[in-house]
Structure 1
Amino acid sequence: MTEEFRPARRAGRRGPEVRCRTAPAAGPAPAAPQLPAIGIQGAAAELEVEIARVRGDTAVLVVTGEIDLRTADTLCSRLVEARGEGPRRLVVDFAAVPFCDAAGLGALVAAHNRIAVSGGEISLAGVRPAQLRLLRITGLDRLFAVHPDVAAALAEHDSSTTSR
């Protein structure tokens, strides 16, 4: 019988065990090559989030490094932590962020959701063109105020508080 005319097997039955006999049976298996370990702890050191200054109820946070799956939790927790220290409004400076993927966007949304509950808000400044494009494609440019730089973000905040 050829393969195309063979009747189908019943779902509960296993096929015959196939063994490869090309390797010598005696002796220990060769050791696998050792690769450098890439751990989550090392990732946290790759992303820095620091409070650069606090002015009134606004804190400017400078983010340095790539934001990806390994570092997204660090970004979210640091933003929430900064809001917990008092400032209602966070201006997040992205000028030193060369890369931000979907996990980074998710971390920003998660931080926004946690901060908004207590009346806080996040503005982004210095976002690179590729990242700005992602924000626009995903519609997150409507969730976060996006400014060309920190000075513009602070100026907008100053003008909105004096016009109230």
Structure 2
Amino acid sequence: MTEDLGTPATTGAGRPPALAVNVATTPGATIVSVSGDIDAAVSGLLRDRLAVELGLGPKALVADLAEVPFCDSSGLAVLLEIRTRAEESGIPFRVVTEQRGLLRPISLLHLDTVLEVHPALESALDSVRPA
């Protein structure tokens, strides 16, 4: 299932901001794949989508952000909020990205001590598979 979570507001370039989201389920995890920039215009929509999936009680929740070139503080706040909710529910939460626009702020803010970030989807899925 793919959703376009764009909003009617325009960006500085006159284009509407958009965030495409695809949700897939596997026997061991729900994967929320995102593409597009995550900023204040769309972070609330992303929060809602991740919260819905978390509320369905998956064995694990993976945010695949491999196609997200930019994420501002509102997007990072969403990831931290969802991670906290997941932990409270006993559900593993993983983030997938190799994008500098995400890795740099995560590292600078030491969020890599709180968020479990993986360079590839398979790595994230392996980390939640039972031994």
Report the TM range for the smaller structure's normalisation: 0.7 to 0.9
* 1:51 aligned residue (8, 17, 23): 23
Aligned to 2:31: 60
Higher RCO (C-alpha 8 Å, min separation 6) = 2
Aligned to 1:120: 91
CA–CA separation in structure 1 for the residues paired with 2:82 and 2:21: 13
1:9-60 superposed Cα distances (whole Å, 9 cap, x missing partner): xxxxxxxxxxxxxxxxxxxxxxxxxxxx727xx65xx11222123223x111
SS in structure 2 at match of 1:99? coil
* 1:107 aligned residue (57, 62, 78): 78
The Cα of 1:69 is off from its aligned counterpart by 0.6
1:109-147 superposed Cα distances (whole Å, 9 cap, x missing partner): 122222222112321112312311110111111111111
Q: Which amino acid aligns with 2:117?
A: V
Q: Which amino acid aligns with 2:113?
A: R
- RMSD between superposed Cα atoms in Å: 1.8
Give TM-score scaled by structure 2 length. Answer: 0.80
CA–CA separation in structure 2 for the residues paired with 1:55 and 1:49: 20
Based on CA coordinates, which of the two structures has the bigger radius of gyration?
1
CA–CA separation in structure 1 for the residues paired with 2:128 and 2:9: 41
SS in structure 2 at match of 1:87? coil
CA–CA separation in structure 1 for the residues paired with 2:90 and 2:21: 21
SS in structure 2 at match of 1:117? helix
For structure 2, list consecutive stretches of 5 or more residues without a partner in the other structure: 1-7, 11-15
SS in structure 1 at match of 2:94? strand
**Number of residues of Structure 1 aligned to a counterpart in Structure 2:** 119
Give TM-score scaled by structure 1 length. Answer: 0.65
SS in structure 2 at match of 1:144? coil
SS in structure 2 at match of 1:141? helix
**1:72 correspondence with 2:46:** no
Aligned to 2:4: none
CA–CA separation in structure 2 for the residues paired with 1:114 and 1:78: 13
Between the aligned residues of both structures, percent identity stands at 32
1:50-96 superposed Cα distances (whole Å, 9 cap, x missing partner): 2123223x111101111001111111111111111221311111111
CA–CA separation in structure 1 for the residues paired with 2:67 and 2:24: 13
Alignment of 1:11-90 (within 5 A): 38=9, 43=17, 46-56=18-28, 58-90=29-61
Aligned to 2:103: 132
